[in-house]
Chain A
Amino acid sequence: MLRLIDIVLILLFGFISISHFDSSIAVQLPEAGHMPRLQAEFQNLAVVSLDEAGAFVCGPERHQVASAAELRDWLAGEQAAGATQVRLRADRGRPSSEVALLQELCGELDLGLSLEIIRRAEEIRP
């Protein structure tokens, strides 16, 4: 019985240690099986989410922007606060043009942009 409790506790600590807690909104990220792993870089990073309905939700405070101009202002504010990189968490079903919009804004502000992807298990190789 004691042994069982030991194992359960070890598993529990294991799960807790690999759990990822974040305050960003839930979106269905695009999936890929062979991309390099995401760099665990959280400094100078501004996170923008693009939800299923097409709304840009910015930062941990979940500030929803209504227009491209407002998004640009938010990005400029983040840049002034020290951000050099933007990470986009976009719903997999959103059109590419919305990524292009953010790409353009980041280009204007000289900010780096990366897209967050969910890594799925290795697939069948052709």
Chain B
Amino acid sequence: MTLMRGYITRLIDVTLIILIGFLSVADLDDRAVLPLPAGLAAVLDTLGRDEAERRLEIMATETGSFLLELSSTTGLNLPLGRVSGSDTLRAVLARLKAEHQLAGADIRSWPRVPLQTAVDAVDACDLCEIPRDVRFLPDTGAPAVAAEAQP
């Protein structure tokens, strides 16, 4: 009886250890497809895929949206427009990375942009494994209207 109890106790210990092990390495990833804004999707579709190396400029704005502009060594300078929210930004970056040669991203954060918004842009680049450069723009007193006014 004592032997049986010993075995049961040992079994509970092992089960607990295995359970904790599984929980600690569990991948709770739930994949989803995020829709792209229609206008931006159309612009991406028109891009040639044989362009030279491209860089993406991501401007984080005060409203939590991101302005995107693509530039290439061949002189292409194409505003892609605005995406709102970090989830959409990730979807756009993933598509750009998958379909076009993206050498890197330059993240610019306007003076009044909350830190979290800029970090979201950095995080999106890291998720898509796009090399990024981050710059927090100093407050020079100039209004950020120029950035906000773009389509």
> Is B109's beta carbon under 8 Å from chain A?
yes
How many Å from the CB of A28 to the closest CB on chain B? 9
Given the known inter-chain contacts A3-B9, A121-B28, please indicate yes or no for A32 contacting B115, CB distance below 8 A: no
In residues 1-45 of chain A, which contact B (Cβ within 8 Å)? 3, 7, 30-36
Instruction: List residues of chain A with CB within 8 A of the CB of B60.
Output: 96
Partner of A31, one of B31, B119, B139: B119
Report whether B127 and A33 are in contact in the complex, using a CB–CB cutoff of 8 Å: yes
> Is B48's beta carbon under 8 Å from chain A?
no
> Is A92's beta carbon under 8 Å from chain B?
yes
Given the known inter-chain contacts A32-B119, A122-B29, please indicate yes or no for A96 contacting B137, CB distance below 8 A: yes
Interface-facing stretch out of B50-58, B72-80, B87-95: B87-95
> Is B99's beta carbon under 8 Å from chain A?
no
Report whether B115 and A91 are in contact in the complex, using a CB–CB cutoff of 8 Å: yes
Q: How many A-B residue pairs have C-beta atoms within 8 angstroms? Tell me.
A: 92
Report whether B114 and A97 are in contact in the complex, using a CB–CB cutoff of 8 Å: no
Interface string of A73-113 (1 = CB under 8 A from B): 00000000000000000111111110111011000000000
Which of A93, A95, A104 has the largest number of chain B CB atoms within 10 A? A95
Task: State which size class the interface on A falls in.
Answer: 20 to 34
Instruction: List residues of chain A with CB within 8 A of the CB of B87.
Output: 124, 126
Report whether B119 and A92 are in contact in the complex, using a CB–CB cutoff of 8 Å: yes
Report whether B139 and A97 are in contact in the complex, using a CB–CB cutoff of 8 Å: yes
- Name 18 interchain pairs, CB-CB below 8 A, sorted by A: A3-B13, A31-B116, A32-B120, A33-B123, A95-B111, A96-B110, A96-B113, A96-B118, A97-B112, A100-B138, A100-B139, A101-B138, A122-B29, A124-B32, A124-B87, A125-B29, A126-B34, A126-B90
Given A31-B116, A96-B114, 19 further pairs, Cβ under 8 A:
A32-B123, A34-B127, A35-B122, A91-B115, A94-B114, A95-B114, A96-B112, A96-B118, A97-B137, A97-B139, A99-B115, A100-B137, A100-B138, A122-B29, A124-B87, A125-B29, A126-B34, A126-B87, A126-B127
**Chain A contact residues, CB within 8 Å of chain B:** 3, 7, 30-36, 90-97, 99-101, 103-104, 115, 117, 121-126
